[in-house]
Amino acid sequence: MLRTNTCGELRIEDVSKEVTLCGWVQKSRDLGGMTFIDLRDRYGLTQLVFNLDWDSNLCKQARALGREFVLQITGTVIERENKNKNTPSGDIEIKVSVLTILNSSLTPPFTIEDDTDGGDELRMKYRYLDLRRAMVRKNLELRHRIAIETRNYLDKLNFIEVETPVLIKSTPEGARDFVVPSRMNKNQFYALPQSPQTFKQLLMVSGFDRYYQIVKCFRDEDLRADRQPEFTQIDCEMSFVEQEDILNTFEGLLVYLFKTVKNIDIPKIPRMSYAQAMKHYGNDKPDTRFEMKLIDLNSVCKGKNFNLFNEAELIIGLCATGAAEYTRKQLDELTEWVKRPQIGASGLVYVRYQNDGTLKSSVDKFYSEEDLKKWAEVCDAKKGDLILVLAGNKHEIRKAASELRLELGNRLGLRDKNKFSCLWVVDFPLIEWNEGDPNVLASLSGRWHAKHHPFTSPKKEDLYIINSMISEIREEIIADRPMNYKVQIPRAMAYDIVVNGVEIGGGSIRIHNKDLQGKMFEILGFSKEEAQKQFGFLMNAFEFGAPPHGGIALGFDRLCSMFGGADSIRDFIAFPKNNSGRDVMIDAPSEISAEQLDELEIELKKQP
Ligand code: ASP
């Protein structure tokens, strides 16, 4: 080894030891006859000291060192006069006797400090330098810790980690696939897996009974904040289990991770049905760090002269505790906020439940104080609270109210990053009508779409709905599509785990019966031939003794960012892509040579 110690481990007990350290020059300071250098490595910082009186040559050499030079030094550990309480090795310094420059460095394009002067794009271009910053390094250390603890937990429960292939077959379900041309199989393409779903199910057929993999997945989606085209999942599958067993096993994983990684004891995770989540929070991943439910005000708001409310399908109230003192300006601001196209409400009505017990609203013209008292009652509002009311079409207004709820949560400081609230959302709809989603191929719109994925099992008590849908489809009543909205939608044995309003993972009990799987494909609009072509391998496997099974996948990047108290997953990925899906450091994606294209027999479309 070129070193005896790291830059993070020497303490006062080590005084008078002779040590050799290696690292990068973080900072150097000249104070007359003395020169101080902070030497940095992965483990921390150690101060080096040089003195003109001890060795003038060495001191001059030290003064000439630039930031990020790589050094090897040998010297004696001495007690510092001015101790630095902010650094673990701040009680000591090294009186250097030998200095070797292992490598020089250009001046870095930004400062390697927590509070760097480098912008996002610049830091991504030089990500290897960005990763030298303690903050980013700590994120990757946290990621490593969570991965190790996940493996420990699952290993103890007999889960086996199996690698599944990265070059697989494209299936036009879910998001868009990334595709890879095959040179040896002309005009044919592999796809990168959106998840190892079918493989893990096949592993169950093989009898592996408890599988996991910390695995890269790829989805060619339009990138929203907090999405990466490649991301990592903790992917798991179990045989001979029911939904309850999976929830318990993975609740156990979360409890274990919170305890070992963050030393937090989380309480038993509550369950909420999808229908309740939509009703009370307008959202299938509610942030339950705070209450503020969506209250249906139809019964107390309708029937007066206020047309906006009379014509609305749904009137929703939100009670913001202690916010009655919001100024006119703040309320105008919130009104503008809900009217933004992303939120899409037409306006916002407010009622202040003032501290003197009187009620003041923006619709006093239409509603008496008695009326408003009823609103307050339904909303369980107290003196000092503010009621905000939105009205409109059911679906859209729930969504808007859900956004407003989160915004109020932010403004009222109810979304503390150090507080964690976990929730299982269960009983998701099995299917949804796809009106055209920008993230799926256009040919899939105007069809039923699997809410989770096509292998998800319906709830036993809703199987009859599947059967009646199948008879309708077979009778071709389906020709008139809009009627499908009125069809009762079967619920799935599917569940999501939500933490602080973020979907951390989801899974389901799978169909393990060929006939039921066939019916599912039929509902999803696959012909028998198409289903056989796309998923024949799985349906055939189901004929060789498939055990009942189910699983879950947790978003590993999100889990890491949540544990790190950050909003973005990007800082928890060593080499992330930017918002246009580019890696600006290696400059990918990029063109390939004419020779490569030739070999693949791919002809590029001329760009206009
Ligand atoms: N494969 C699913 C997903 O990636 C998770 C699961 O059902 O296990 O969302």
Question: Residue 550 C-alpha to ligand 1 middle, in angstroms?
Answer: 10
The owner of tokens 């030089």 is 126
CATH topology of domain 137-271+423-573: BirA Bifunctional Protein; domain 2 (3.30.930)
Ligand 1 atom with the shortest distance to the CA of 455: 7
Can you tell me which atom of ligand 1 is nearest the CA of 235? 8
**Side chain identity, residue 86:** N
CA 24 / ligand 1 centre spacing (Å): 43
How long a stretch of residues is the chain?
608
- The pLDDT of residue 444: 63
For a mutational test of ligand 1's pocket, the pick from 159, 177, 194, 197, i.e. the residue with the most ligand atoms closer than 8 A to its C-beta, is: 197
Please count the other Cβ atoms lying within 10 Å of the Cβ belonging to residue 539.
19
Number of the ligand 1 atom closest to the C-alpha atom of 237: 8
> 87: buried, middle or exposed (CB in 10 Å: 19+, 13-18, 0-12)?
middle
Residue 342's SS3 state is coil
Rounded to whole angstroms, how far apart are CA atoms 58 and 99? Answer: 7
Q: What 3-state class would DSSP assign to 300?
A: helix
Q: How many angstroms does the Cα of residue 14 sit away from the middle of ligand 1?
A: 52
CATH class of 290-415: alpha beta
Which has the closest alpha carbon to 193: 213, 209, 170?
170
Q: Are 522 and 473 in contact (CB under 8 A)?
A: yes
Q: pTM for this structure?
A: 0.93
The fold of 12-103 is OB fold (Dihydrolipoamide Acetyltransferase, E2P) (2.40.50)
Q: Residue 181 Cα, ligand 1 centroid: separation in angstroms?
A: 26
The Cα-based distances of 96 to 2, 18, 28, 608 in angstroms read 16, 10, 14, 64
CA distance 195 to 217: 5
**What would the two tokens of residue 507 be?**
């899974």
Instruction: Check if the beta carbon of residue 139 is closer than 8 Å to that of residue 571.
Output: yes
Atom 4 of ligand 1, residue of closest alpha carbon: 195
Report the separation in Å between the CA atom of 199 and the middle of ligand 1, taken as the mean of its atom positions: 11
Residues 6+ apart with CB under 8 A from 260: 149
Tokens 């040590």, residue? 19
Whether the ω angle into residue 454 lies within 30 degrees of 0, i.e. cis, is no
Strand partners, 31: 34
Mutate to test the pocket of ligand 1, among 164, 218, 452 (most ligand atoms within 8 A of CB): 452
The protein residue whose alpha carbon is closest to atom 6 in ligand 1 is 507
Q: Which residues line ligand 1 (CB under 6 A)?
A: 195, 197, 506-508, 551-553
- Cα 442 to Cα 45, 159, 434, 438, 482, distances in angstroms: 55, 39, 10, 8, 18
Write down the domain spans for the chain.
12-103, 137-271+423-573, 290-415
Best of 164, 203, 217, 453 to mutate for ligand 1, by most ligand atoms within 8 A of CB?
A: 453
- Residue whose token pair is 């294209």: 597
Cα of 452 vs centre of ligand 1, distance in Å, is 8
Which residue type occupies 446? G
Q: Residue whose CA is closest, atom 7 of ligand 1?
A: 507
Closest atom of ligand 1 to 194 CA is 4
For residue 195, the CA-to-ligand 1 centroid distance in Å is 7
Distance CA 385, CA 320 (A): 6
The DSSP H or E segment spanning 320 is strand 314-320
Residue pLDDT, tens place only, 494-527: 999 999 999 999 999 999 998 999 999 999 888 8
The tokens for 52 are 């003109």
* Residue nearest (by alpha carbon) to ligand 1 atom 1: 197
How many Å apart are CA 190 and CA 65, to the nearest integer?
51
Query: How far is the centre of ligand 1, averaged over its atoms, from the C-alpha of 173 (Å)?
Result: 13
Q: Which two tokens stand for residue 311?
A: 């014509």
Shortest-distance atom of ligand 1 to CA 456: 7
The SS3 assignment for 369 reads helix
User: Residues 304, 312: contact at Cβ < 8 Å?
Assistant: no
The predicted pLDDT at position 491 comes to 96
Q: State how far the alpha carbon of 206 is from the alpha carbons of 151, 163, 237, 302, 535, in Å.
A: 22, 14, 12, 60, 17
Distance 197 CA to ligand 1 centre (A): 6
What is the distance, to the nearest Å, from the Cα of residue 574 to the centroid of all Cα atoms in its chain? 16
Residues paired with residue 23 on neighbouring β-strands, in sequence order:
71
Question: What number does the ligand 1 atom closest to the CA of 494 have?
Answer: 7
Helix (H) or strand (E) segment spanning residue 57: helix 56-63
Contact 335, 348 (CB under 8 A): yes
Phi and psi for 122 in degrees, rounded to 5?
-65, -40
Q: Which residue has the tokens 């408890």?
A: 210
**Residue of 215, 235, 253, 439 with the most ligand 1 atoms within 8 Å of its CB, for mutation:** 235
- Residue 400 CA to ligand 1 center (angstroms) comes to 28
**CA 33 to ligand 1 centroid distance, Å:** 64
Most ligand 1 atoms within 8 A of CB, residue of 168, 195, 215 to mutate: 195
pLDDT score recorded for residue 481: 52
Q: Among the atoms of ligand 1, which is closest to the Cα of residue 236?
A: 8
CA of 413 from ligand 1 middle (Å) equals: 33
What is the Å distance from ligand 1's center to 555 Cα? 10
* pLDDT for 123: 96
For the chain, which residues score pLDDT lower than 70?
Answer: 172-173, 225, 436-445, 476-487
CA of 499 to the centre of ligand 1 (A): 17
Beta carbons of 151 and 161 less than 8 angstroms apart? yes
- Mutation test of ligand 1: which of 168, 233, 509 has the most ligand atoms closer than 8 Å to its C-beta? 233
**Predicted local distance difference test score (pLDDT) of residue 483:** 45
